[in-house]
A and B are shown apart, each in its own frame.
Chain A
Amino acid sequence: MQLEEQTITIDGQKIPFQSGQTIMDAALAAKIYIPHLCYHPEFKPHGSCRLCTVMVNGRYESACTMPSVAGQEILNNTKELNENRRALTQMLFVEGNHICPGCPKTGNCQLQAVAYYVGMLSSHYQHFYPYRDLDPSHPDYVVDFNRCILCELCVRASRDVDKKNIFAISGRGIKAHLIINSPSGKLEDTDFAVGDKAAFVCPVGAILRKRTRYTTPIGERLYDKQSIRIVGDSQQLHAGATKYGRK
């Protein structure tokens, strides 16, 4: 006897899932876009950005951490949920320093792309303009803390894949910030190296390879022509990164 296929329903569309898959995993496999920033298919979900919040049987849940359970009725692409996502995105913009015209990641940045997707036309809130540093000490990488959105992807990559534990988030609430695990707090005093997984996962312009930016002309960059819903995540720019969501 063949087992009946297990399904969940997202915005009226029935999709299959395998046991152990989260709602996000199942959605991506079915090419349904659920906005996300801290999720990356290769890492254990972190559930911190809340961009992926969907309505599951009438309750808010984060799609990247919520296991798929047969029969779930899920709302994803609704006006209300996208408005909440827009507010979250605006908060991320005002909480850091995101001057896109002066950022090497612009055009290839996932925060920007998500903001376009949710129709963010203004930052709406009052800007914090926090004072945050820049660490250019490493010969090949620069860390610009002004643009960090605390997604912990570099933390997870360095800890779980590179086994180096170079990055961590320190402090709580509004004081939470990225730190570098070396006596000086500088990247040059770690064994961070060009081939590290942590060098390829930052969705924004916070961890940047030196001397490789501004190489793609405006109009040709990842998110210039089509929405992130179609194009997929920004990590795909790096060799070996997972590609999905492509048409």
Chain B
Amino acid sequence: MAANKIRVATTSLAGCFGCHMSFLDIDERLLELLEHIEFDRTPLTDIKQCGPCDIGLIEGGVCNAENVHVLKEFRKNCKILIAMGACAFNGGVPALRNHYSLKDCLEESYLQGVGVVNPLIPNDPEIPLLLNKVHPIHEIVKIDYFLPGCPPSGDAIWTFLNELLAGQEISLPYQAIHYD
């Protein structure tokens, strides 16, 4: 029956995984959801590349080159792309670093920071290059839906996905939409 299932991919870019934790907060309803959906690339399946999907859920903004790459991969493969959470929405807490130059941030973290031993700015080629600023994802690709919140509650995610799967217009109660 897998052929009829809605394929969903999720990822956390410059986020804290809080939105994914909130997604798991739908608890046993996840089993009900799994009757209608199957997962592609997501931290839950550990699939590394996103294939063709119906829905992509993005947590986090973009702070490095890999984030941009993954975000574009999602946009290419997902029919509907959803920005989930405060960081995807406007950069969120990681965007607080936008006040400072990247150089200052790195020096503060790895050279002058409190309790730093062996001061050294990491430069292994495996580490994705940081962008000068953190950006919300709508500045990089087209986003179809936004679900703000830091994080959005499990109930909000549940209601949102249900209405989306049912082909309804999304209508969340007042309390479900917040930016914090």
Contacts and interface: CB of A to CB of B under 8 A. Distances in A.
28 contacts: A99-B86, A99-B91, A99-B95, A99-B96, A101-B86, A101-B93, A101-B180, A106-B179, A107-B180, A112-B179, A116-B177, A116-B178, A121-B145, A121-B147, A121-B177, A122-B136, A122-B146, A122-B148, A123-B89, A123-B138, A127-B90, A127-B139, A129-B99, A129-B133, A131-B99, A224-B175, A225-B174, A227-B174
Nearest to B147: A121
Interface string A96-110: 011111110011000
Contacts of B98: 97, 129
Given A121-B177, A225-B175, A226-B174, A99 B83 contact: no
Interface residues of B, number: 28
Interface string B51-91: 00000000000000000000000000000000100100111
Contacts of A202: none
Sorted from nearest, which 9 A-B pairs have the closest CB atoms? Answer: A101-B150, A100-B179, A121-B146, A129-B98, A122-B146, A106-B180, A100-B180, A101-B180, A123-B90
A116 B174 contact: yes
B6 interface: no
Contact of B139 (A102, A126, A226): A126
B133 to A, nearest CB: 6
Contacts of A94: 90
Given A99-B90, A126-B139, A224-B175, 14 more contacts: A97-B95, A99-B91, A99-B92, A99-B93, A101-B86, A101-B93, A112-B179, A116-B174, A116-B177, A121-B146, A127-B95, A127-B135, A129-B98, A227-B174
Contacts, number: 72
Contact of B138 (A100, A103, A107, A122): A122
B179 A115 contact: yes
A218 B136 CA distance: 25
Nearest to A226: B174
Contacts of A127: 90-91, 95, 135-136, 139
A163 interface: no
A101 B179 contact: yes
**Most chain B beta-carbon neighbours within 10 Å: one of A93, A99, A106:** A99
A238 interface: no
Contact of B90 (A98, A106, A224): A98
Contacts of A44: none
Interface residues of A, number: 27
Nearest to B179: A100
A124 B142 CA distance: 10
A100 B136 contact: no
B26 interface: no
Interface string A180-204: 0000000000000000000000000
A102 B92 CA distance: 8
Contacts of A129: 91, 95, 98-99, 133
Nearest to B134: A129
Contacts of A103: 180
Nearest to A146: B99
Contacts of B164: none
- Most B C-beta atoms less than 10 A away, residue of A93, A100, A106, A126: A100
Which of B150, B177, B180 has the most A CB atoms < 10 Å from its CB? B180
Contacts of B178: 107, 116, 224
Nearest to A98: B90
A8 B55 CA distance: 49
B143 interface: yes
Contacts of B175: 224-225
A154 B99 CA distance: 25
A142 to B, nearest CB: 16
B61 to A, nearest CB: 10
